[in-house]
Amino acid sequence: MNELNLYQLYRDIIKKSKVMRRFVTGPNYGDELNKNNAGEILKDFLEGIKDGKKYPLCIMFPPVELPNFDTNWSKYKCRLLFLTTQHNDANGTQNRNPFNNLSQHTIEQTWKDMGVCAKDFRKFLNMIIAKFPGTEIRECTSVDVIERYSGVGADNLAGVGLSFDIDLAIACDLEDYSEEDLKSFEINTTDLHPHHEH
């Protein structure tokens, strides 16, 4: 299992969600959300948009990897945002006020809704890890963090960010170097820049 399998696992979990529509990677750390054509830029990682609905979406920022070559495990610091449009859902304006046609659905309620999705994602991920103990992925001791956001990007999104750590096994074999490379390698110990007068 490698990091690509991890991204696919997240995508597969989001596909099972009753609320979240899409999973995308944000290689530019969410700057993609500031474009007017965010829906065109944020295509699903492997497939295009199937139902025409952009939101709610889960965007994954590039994870930070902390490899430990003594234990052959890498800690991945993951950050996923669960976002949707403020005041609107797939059916139009949320909780429409009949007197002014404006939404009565508050930002706080959107935070709560997206927070439920983020927490359920994390719990479901833990259940999957427990169900498949030999898949080279494991829980690690860390503190999960949930942050609230509003007014994000050109589409004025709101929701939560979920930060957590996960461990992936590191392959023991070298892929980029051979045993012969190691045997024939020498370290240059000569003084490459002798001291001199300027």
pLDDT means per 10 residues, the chain with 198 residues, are 92 95 84 61 49 80 94 95 77 50 75 97 96 89 93 88 95 85 91 88
Instruction: Tell me the Cα Rg of the chain.
Output: 23
What SS3 class is residue 182?
A: helix
Encoding tokens for residue 36? 């007017």
Q: Domain segments of the chain: what residues?
A: 3-180
- DSSP notation for 61-74: PPPEEEEETTTTEE
pLDDT at 47: 52
pLDDT at 89: 53
Encoding tokens for residue 1? 């299992």
Q: At CB < 8 A and 24+ separation, what contacts does 142-149 make?
A: 146/115, 146/118, 146/119, 148/111, 148/115, 149/81, 149/83
- Asked: is 3-180 a CATH 1.10.150.120 domain? The reply is no
- Stated pTM of the model: 0.79
CB atoms within 10 A of CB 166: 21
pLDDT at 87: 67
